Amino acid sequence: MLAGCTGAGTNGSEAGTGDRALPVTLTNWMYAPGSSRASDDPVALAHVSVAPLQPGENAIEIELTDLNGAALSEASAPAEAVLTVQPLTPDPSALTPPLTRADVGAIWTTGEIDLADQGWYELAVALETADETFGAATMYILLPDPSVYGADALDLPDTDPEALALFARALNRYADWDASRWRESLGSGTDVLVVTDFTLTTRPGEAPAFMADTRYTGAFRPRSDGSPPADPKFDYAGAITIDDNAWRQRDGSGWEQSATRGVTTHAERSEIYAGATNIQLTGTARIDDQDVQVITFYLPPDGGQSEAWFAWWIDPDTGDVPRMAMIASMHYMIWDFFDINGSYTIAPPPGIRMATPTAQ
């Protein structure tokens, strides 16, 4: 597992290698129009099942629920779901397949649609009411999916020199960040979602500091014995590390001192990607009204680090990376970064004195 990943099989799910034969279902928060996917609160959940997740004819099913997994009332007719499938390739042609609504619940299906090419695809789901867009969610798939068919099923193109130069610039820029915030959306492909907000500061003259706030964890597929999964949890865990001091809290139990290996800095995090290969320019996109260039690459296994496939969205003006997506074995992850090099600080939990002094 890559550094910084958290386990996806939480809250009553049974995610793992034994579930690979099951349909792959990606789950993510839906956001109201104009919201930031990096920092705003959600309005609903989108559950998107894709099969068989290899180039050619695929079928997609969409289910929209509230955050507790109940059918979304706002999705009642005449509201309709809209699906856009966008290949992450140069000059891509988006697909908006017709959807058929199920007789019960907020569920739509595409039937067979042709996803002919190997590679990355963006799946954008929106719910359109009579007057406006209620909410939208974004997910990413890779065909053929290595979680289903194994790494050998993917053909890896050679590194493009222009893509390599852009990647190197972005990687150097990432290593030089002195502060960042980001939201991690983590799934296992088994209708599981864990959303965590992170803050990291590594400014010269200050003790490095890191904060994690697990905002949400939910599992929506029945367990192997047929029993329902546990109810979703909201804002159920947190962690703060400042230099060599660390505290943890879970389920509102209060903050407690905990062991720590210290803070992994931006520069150290950038080293994870140093062995990237097969770097390719793909398409362009817009994130928060900014035009960005998308690249994809493969990260081979290295020691205890699993192999993985990445897409990066890079601001061509600054070299910043506002979004990363990763697909690895039973891991489907999206990171949305914001407030890069901002002026915020991380403090110890309320009422707790530092064990050792820290510059503020």
Nearest to 115 by CA among 45, 194, 60, 184: 60
Averaged pLDDT for residues 303-330:
94
Yes or no: say if 203 and 341 are a contact pair by the CB < 8 Å rule: no
Per-residue pLDDT, 7: 37
Yes or no: say if 23 and 204 are a contact pair by the CB < 8 Å rule: no
Bigger pLDDT: 277 vs 226: 277
Q: Are residues 137 and 238 in the same domain?
A: no
Q: Are residues 110 and 186 in the same domain?
A: no
Q: Are residues 63 and 181 in the same domain?
A: no
Mean pLDDT of the chain, nearest integer: 90
Place of tokens 């609504």: 101
Q: Are residues 146 and 224 in the same domain?
A: no
Domain annotation covers residue 274: no
Domain annotation covers residue 342: no
Q: Are residues 124 and 38 in the same domain?
A: yes
Predicted confidence band at 263 (pLDDT cuts at 50, 70, 90)?
very high
Q: Are residues 26 and 63 in the same domain?
A: yes
Q: Are residues 28 and 128 in the same domain?
A: yes
**Coil/strand/helix, residue 337:** strand
Other Cβ atoms less than 10 A from the Cβ of 100: the count is 11
pLDDT digits (tens, 9 = 90+) for 160-175: 999 999 999 999 999 9
Q: Are residues 36 and 111 in the same domain?
A: yes
Domain annotation covers residue 156: no
Given 266, 298, 325, the domain boundary residue is 266
**CA dist., res. 30 & res. 197, Å (int):** 16
Nearest to 41 by CA among 49, 29, 25: 29
Q: Are residues 60 and 117 in the same domain?
A: yes
Peptide bond into 78 cis (omega under 30): yes
Domain annotation covers residue 333: no
Per-residue pLDDT, 354: 61
Q: Are residues 210 and 93 in the same domain?
A: no
Read off the DSSP letter of residue 75. Answer: G
Averaged pLDDT for residues 47-74:
97
Percentage of the chain exceeding pLDDT 70: 92
Other Cβ atoms less than 10 A from the Cβ of 172: the count is 12
Domain annotation covers residue 271: no
Domain annotation covers residue 105: yes
CATH number for position 107: 2.60.40.1930
- Out of 42-51, 117-126, 128-137, 344-353, pick the least confident: 344-353
Domain annotation covers residue 321: no
Q: Are residues 26 and 142 in the same domain?
A: yes
Q: How far is residue 238 from each of residues 39, 216, 246, 251, measured CA to CA in Å?
A: 16, 11, 11, 9
Q: Are residues 142 and 180 in the same domain?
A: no
Range of the domain at 40: 22-151
For residue 158, how far is the Cα from the chain centroid? 26
Domain annotation covers residue 168: no
Per-residue pLDDT, 359: 38
Exposure letters 326-345 (e unless 16+ CB within 10 A, then b): bbbbbbbbbbbbbebeeeee
pTM over 0.85: yes
pLDDT digits (tens, 9 = 90+) for 287-312: 988 899 999 999 999 877 889 999 99
Nearest to 346 by CA among 251, 238, 258: 238
Q: How many structural domains are present in the chain?
A: 2
